[in-house]
Amino acid sequence: MEILGTYPDDLTNDSPIIFSPGIVIPTTPWEAVWNSVAQWFGITDETTLGSVLPNRAQFADKLFTKADLYGA
């Protein structure tokens, strides 16, 4: 199994990404995963991907590709 994204180093209550009562702020946006799913469904045009995932441009450096999730 492979972990994509960033796994937190600190899972204690002192961590900057964990709040009471156990709420964890994700380090990977939903757009990262859905970008690869959209590509798997055949949406490869940048404009169309932007229409399907309107916030995609804000996370351009964190997006996964079809190859990341499903292999080459």
**SS3 for 1-69, per residue?**
CCCCCCCCCCCCCCCCCEECCCEECCCCCHHHHHHHHHHHCCCCCHHHHHHHCCCHHHHHHHCCCHHHH
The predicted-structure confidence for 24-40, as pLDDT tens digits, reads as follows 778 889 999 999 999 99
In the chain, the percentage of residues whose pLDDT exceeds 70 is: 96
Strand 18-19 to 23-24 pairing: antiparallel
Answer yes or no: are the C-beta atoms of 53 and 39 closer than 8 Å.
Answer: no
Q: Which two tokens stand for residue 21?
A: 């009562």
Where exactly are the structural domains of the chain?
28-70
**pTM summary value:** 0.73
pLDDT of residue 18: 77
pLDDT of residue 1: 64
